[in-house]
Amino acid sequence: MKKKNRFSSIMRSTSFVYVIAVLVLACILLRFDAPLPVAAALILISALMLLHLILERRGRIMKIERYLGLGLSEEPSENENRLPFNVPEPMAGVRVDGTLVWYNKAFSDAFTSGGFAETLDEIFPSVSVDEIITDKGSRVIEASFGQLSYRLHPTVMRNADPDKAAVVIFAENASDVNLLKSAARDARSVVMNVKVDNYDETVADAGENEQLELTASIDRAITGWVHDAGGLVRKLEKDRYVVVLQSAAFDRIVADKFSILSAVKSIAVLSASAPTLSIGVGVGGESPAECDSFARAALDMALGRGGDQAVVCDAGRFSYYGGSTKDVEKRTRVKARVMAQSLKEHILAAENVVVMGHKNADVDAVGAAIGVACAAFHLERDVKILLNTENAAVRSLVDVITKNHYHDGLFVGRNQVKEYVDGGTLLIICDTHRPELTEMPDLLDIAGCKAMIDHHRRSESFIEGCEMVYHEPGASSACEMVTEILMYMDGGLSLSTIDATALYAGIILDTKNFVFKTGARTFEAAAYLRNAGVDTIRVKQFFRETPDDYRQKSDIVASAKIDDRGISHAKVFAELPAALIAQAADEMLDVEGVTASFVISRDGDGVRISARSLGDVNVQLICERLGGGGHALVAAAQIRSISVNDASKKLKNAVDDYFNG
């Protein structure tokens, strides 16, 4: 029986029939007294044919073993020999070059429709055999064929010798599983927190009837939008709503790019400003409660970025929609008074104070730090300012302080500052809220108490654990915010001429001489500083340029290219000071027809991008696509390990995405 099983497949072959026919012919010739040599020759031919058939069969088995590595036994049964071909699921053997050595009937029925396929990429173009061998078949591969989804389970049979490697692929139809996953994902809860940014300001100038109509119009717009999506909405306060809906409906809202933002802004009102919304969305949570937590964090992010936008928090990952409206002042003097009192209490409770700004500190960061130091001096606390890098304007400011022997020993570097920071230190961060951008991030973990004052639109990274956070994206500068704190700090605080000049210089820098982001509060702060004795001529001297700087800036502006959308774009292949690049971007806005300007310059092994806008283009959204940020009118980005030309291509794609979005 064993021998029968071994040769049963050979006996069924056509060649075996020929062998039997030759033997029968030899027997017939012997029966009729044919010459013996003729009959012997026929018998020999039959034996040789049978031997060839056996060797050919054995060669095929060895070939399968060589490419599949199945480890077939010395005397395999017929069922064992045909095991991979009888598997009911699609299965195939592939060479290193992607050639299909063999595949079973299930594979043929599923992918070739009775035809013939020579290589794996004819069926799965996205699957790389090289990657499978490199990974040693350690991962399952998702692939599609037509409308069906498959999970490919590869096994590398001979990975010790890549030139002779063979891969066995088992294809699992995952379409039903994916449908179930998709249905489960579509049924997940999504929570939204919606807030009318400027409700009080919008209704302030309207009459009683108009206020009711405005409120009703906003309610109708929001509830209609949610009900069309099949969601649930509840109004919590006069300007706050909570929305719950399913993920499938939310996908349609995203595809529609949160049309409710523009719908609410289009509501006709009699006041100076139209209503705008901030929307925080929480998705991907393990429970509705966690989604609500994500939604609250997203709403804080939207408000911190100036409002009029939707921010989606998907399990900690943020994405942004809208945000095209210019920042407007939404601050109140009450908050400034509260922050002044809070800062005073924290300074009095601290043993000493250390102030730091952002890397590559500018006059706004240093001026704000000097203002905070003035408050600490007034409250009789020892204070130091960490300053590592100085541009020309900052150097001029520091030189003025040093030459006048004012605030002796106020500025310290990295090597000295750790002597002053411990558990009793109040660390005040000015002009940034991103920990990685501070002068010395290590201090954030050493100081016993932290306070933060910043006017930049909020980004994903945010300094955590601050006992005091004064974050106002509507303010023109950190110096303006610190000036207001000093205005409302009781106890007879008075500013010296140098302190006032430093703060005024910071406002001048960030507003570009009261052109950008300048509100009524900005002028009030400037008037307060002017009364304190600001030396405007000295401020002008802080920002003077050398002839070489002026020449380089002019060359950058002259080399800029302007497209039909009013985007001015210049490339600088030399490594120039960041302040000079920023000034060149400012100057480019003076060219007729330019609505936004970008300057790309070499910065170490990467590039630095400075962006400016007159208001029609939100350069912050463009820079965020490049890993940067800032304001709608003033933004920047840094990209590491990239050439100027490659960065220029990335910038062009980001600008195209902005206009197409």
pLDDT tens-digit map of 46-97:
677 767 767 766 665 565 555 444 433 334 444 444 455 566 778 888 888 8
Residue 135 reports pLDDT greater than 90: no
- pTM (predicted TM-score): 0.63
Which residues in 292-444 belong to E strands, given as ranges? Answer: 309-314, 317-322, 352-356, 382-386, 411-412, 425-430
**DSSP helix/strand/coil, 347:** helix
Q: pLDDT digit string (tens) for 254-299?
A: 888 899 998 998 887 655 567 889 999 999 888 889 999 999 999 9
Cβ atoms of 191 and 281 within 8 Å: the answer is yes
Cβ atoms of 309 and 319 within 8 Å: the answer is no
**Placement of tokens 């000049």 in the chain:** 501
Task: Provide the token pair at 303.
Answer: 């408000």
Which residues in 458-595 belong to E strands, given as ranges? Answer: 468-471, 561-562, 567-572
Largest CA distance in the chain: 141
Measured at the alpha carbon of residue 228, what is the angle toward residues 226 and 229, in degrees to the nearest 5? Answer: 65
Report the 10 Å Cβ neighbour count for 395: 12
pLDDT of residue 296: 93
**DSSP helix/strand/coil, 501:** helix
Task: Provide the token pair at 65.
Answer: 């073993």
Number of helical H runs and strand E runs in the chain: 26, 23
In terms of Cβ atoms closer than 10 Å to its own Cβ (0-12, 13-18, 19+), residue 380 is exposed
**Dihedral of the alpha carbons of 155, 158, 161, 164, in degrees to the nearest 10:** -90
Cβ atoms of 576 and 601 within 8 Å: the answer is yes
350 pLDDT band, cuts 50/70/90, is: very high
Report the 10 Å Cβ neighbour count for 422: 13
Residues 313 and 283: their CA atoms lie apart, in Å, by 6
Task: Provide the token pair at 360.
Answer: 């590559």
Strands 411-412 and 382-386, by their bridges, are parallel
Please count the CA atoms within 13 angstroms of the CA of 340 that sit on its side-chain side. Answer: 20
H helix intervals, 36-102: 36-68, 78-81, 83-86
Percentage of the chain lying above the pLDDT 70 cut:
81
pLDDT of residue 84: 56
Rg (Cα) of the chain, in Å, rounded? Answer: 38
Residue 378 reports pLDDT greater than 70: yes
Residues 272 and 278: their CA atoms lie apart, in Å, by 19
Task: Provide the token pair at 243.
Answer: 């929305």
pLDDT of residue 272: 56
In terms of Cβ atoms closer than 10 Å to its own Cβ (0-12, 13-18, 19+), residue 608 is buried
Range of weakest confidence among 104-118, 136-150, 334-348: 104-118
6 pLDDT band, cuts 50/70/90, is: very low
Q: What is the phi/psi pair of residue 331, to 5°?
A: -90, 160
606 pLDDT band, cuts 50/70/90, is: very high
pLDDT of residue 111: 83
Cβ atoms of 426 and 398 within 8 Å: the answer is no
Residues 623 and 610: their CA atoms lie apart, in Å, by 9
Residue 526 reports pLDDT greater than 80: yes
Alpha-carbon 37 to chain mean position:
88
Strands 352-356 and 382-386, by their bridges, are parallel
